[in-house]
Amino acid sequence: MTPLTLFLGCVIPNRYPGIEMATKLCLAKLDIDCTDLPEASCCPAPGVFRSFDSPTWLAVAGRNLTLGEDMQRDILTICNGCFGSLADANHLLKENGELRISTNAYLSEIDRQFKGTIDVRHIAEFLYSDVGTEKIKEAVEKPLGLRVAVHYGCHLIKPSRDRGLGSFERPRFFDELVEATGSISIEHPDKMECCGAGGGMRSGLKERSLAMAEHKLSKIKEAGVDCIVNACPFCHMQLDAGQQEIEKVFGKDYNIPVLHYSQLLGLALGFPPDMLGIHMNVVQNRDFMEKLKLSIEDN
Amino acid sequence: MDDWEQFISNRKYYITEKMIMKENNVQEQLKEAGIDILKCMQCGMCSGSCPSGRHTSLNVRRLIRHAIRSQDVLEDEELWMCTTCYNCQERCPRCIDIVDAILKIRSIAAHKGIILPEHKQVIKLLLEYGHAVPIDEANMKKREELGLERFPETVHKDIEALNEVKKLLNVCKLADIIDQ
Ligand code: SF4
Ligand code: SF4
Residue B144 has pLDDT above 50, yes or no: yes
pLDDT, one tens digit per residue, over A239-284 is 999 999 999 999 999 999 999 999 999 999 999 999 999 999 999 9
Q: Do B81 and A37 touch (CB under 8 A)?
A: no
Q: How many domains does chain A have?
A: 2
A201 and A62 both lie in a single domain: no
Residue B96 in contact with ligand 1 by CB distance below 6 A: yes
Considering only the beta carbons, identify the residue of A8, A190, A204 that sits closest to B118: A204
Q: Do A52 and B99 touch (CB under 8 A)?
A: no
The residue-averaged pLDDT of B103-129 equals 95
Q: Do A40 and B155 touch (CB under 8 A)?
A: yes
Interface of B with A in 151-170 (CB under 8 A): 152-158, 161-162, 164-165, 167-169
pLDDT-derived band at A295 (thresholds 50, 70, 90) equals confident
What is the model's pLDDT at position B1? Answer: 58
Say which residues have a Cβ less than 8 Å from residue B58's Cβ, sequence separation at least 6. Answer: B50, B52, B78, B81, B82
Q: What's the gap in Å between the CA of A40 and the closest CA on chain B? A: 5
Instruction: Say how far apart CA A110 and CA A63 lie, in whole Å.
Output: 9
ipTM score assigned to the predicted complex: 0.94
Rg (chain B; Cα; Å): 20
Considering only alpha carbons, which residue of chain B is nearest residue A212? Answer: B55
* Mean residue pLDDT across chain B: 90
pLDDT, one tens digit per residue, over A187-214 is 999 999 999 999 999 999 999 999 999 9
Instruction: Say how far apart CA B130 and CA B118 lie, in whole Å.
Output: 17
pTM: 0.93
Say how far residue A126 (Cα) sits from the centre of its chain. 12
Q: Which of A123, A151, A173 is the last residue of a domain?
A: A123
* Mean residue pLDDT across chain A: 96
What is the model's pLDDT at position B14? Answer: 44
What is the model's pLDDT at position B129? Answer: 97
How much distance in Å is there from the Cα of A59 to the middle of ligand 2? Answer: 25
The residue-averaged pLDDT of A82-94 equals 97
The residue-averaged pLDDT of B49-59 equals 97
Q: Which domain holds residue A208?
A: 132-298
CATH of the domain at A57: 1.20.1050.140
Considering only the beta carbons, identify the residue of B51, B152, B168 that sits closest to A212: B51
Residue B7 has pLDDT above 70, yes or no: no
Residues B3-111, CATH architecture: Orthogonal Bundle (1.10)
A183 and A283 both lie in a single domain: yes
CB B136 within 8 A of CB A8: no
Burial class (CB in 10 A: 0-12, 13-18, 19+), A72: exposed
Say which residues have a Cβ less than 8 Å from residue B65's Cβ, sequence separation at least 6. Answer: B40, B42
Beta bridge partners of A229: A150, A259
Question: Beta-carbon neighbour count of residue A253 at 10 Å?
Answer: 10
pLDDT-derived band at A1 (thresholds 50, 70, 90) equals confident
Torsion of CA A64, A15, A247, A260, to 10 degrees: 70
What is the model's pLDDT at position A294? Answer: 83
pLDDT-derived band at B179 (thresholds 50, 70, 90) equals confident
Instruction: Say how far apart CA A254 and CA A272 lie, in whole Å.
Output: 25
A147 and A291 both lie in a single domain: yes
A76 and A163 both lie in a single domain: no
Instruction: Say how far apart CA A24 and CA A4 lie, in whole Å.
Output: 12
The residue nearest atom 6 of ligand 2, judged by CA position, is B85
A264 and A198 both lie in a single domain: yes
What is the model's pLDDT at position B74? Answer: 95
Residue A296 has pLDDT above 90, yes or no: no
The residue-averaged pLDDT of B99-109 equals 96
Q: Which of A88, A123, A158 is the last residue of a domain?
A: A123
* Percent of chain A whose pLDDT exceeds 70: 99
Strand pairing class (A74-77; A147-151) = unpaired
pLDDT-derived band at A298 (thresholds 50, 70, 90) equals low
CATH of the domain at A199: 3.40.50.11810
* Interface residue of A42, A161, A276, A281 to substitute, partner B, most B CBs within 10 Å: A42
Residue B11 has pLDDT above 60, yes or no: no
Instruction: Say how far apart CA A60 and CA B56 lie, in whole Å.
Output: 32
A146 and A193 both lie in a single domain: yes
User: CATH 1.10.1060 region(s) of chain B?
Assistant: 3-111
Q: Which helix (H) or strand (E) holds A121?
A: strand A120-122
A137 and A221 both lie in a single domain: yes
Q: Which of A76, A99, A123 is the last residue of a domain?
A: A123
* Percent of chain B whose pLDDT exceeds 70: 87
Q: Do A203 and B118 touch (CB under 8 A)?
A: yes
The residue-averaged pLDDT of A105-128 equals 98
Considering only the beta carbons, identify the residue of A36, A110, A154 that sits closest to B153: A36
- Phi-psi map region of A33: left, alpha, beta (phi>0 left; psi -120 to 50 alpha): beta
A12 and A159 both lie in a single domain: no
Would the CA dihedral through B80, B83, B84, B89 be positive or negative? negative
A116 and A146 both lie in a single domain: no
Instruction: Say how far apart CA B107 and CA B99 lie, in whole Å.
Output: 12
A103 and A146 both lie in a single domain: no
Say which residues have a Cβ less than 8 Å from residue A294's Cβ, sequence separation at least 6. Answer: none
Q: How is residue B93 annotated by DSSP?
A: T
**Alpha helices in chain A, H assignment, sequence order:** 11-15, 17-29, 51-52, 54-71, 80-95, 97-108, 123-126, 133-139, 160-163, 173-179, 201-204, 206-223, 233-250, 261-268, 286-298
The residue-averaged pLDDT of A147-174 equals 93
pLDDT, one tens digit per residue, over A5-38 is 999 999 999 999 999 999 999 999 999 999 999 9
Residue B76 has pLDDT above 90, yes or no: yes
pLDDT, one tens digit per residue, over B13-41 is 444 433 443 444 899 999 989 999 999 99
The residue-averaged pLDDT of B39-45 equals 97
Instruction: Say how far apart CA B60 and CA B76 lie, in whole Å.
Output: 11
A68 and A183 both lie in a single domain: no
Would the CA dihedral through B42, A161, A179, A6 be positive or negative? negative
Q: Do A37 and B153 touch (CB under 8 A)?
A: yes
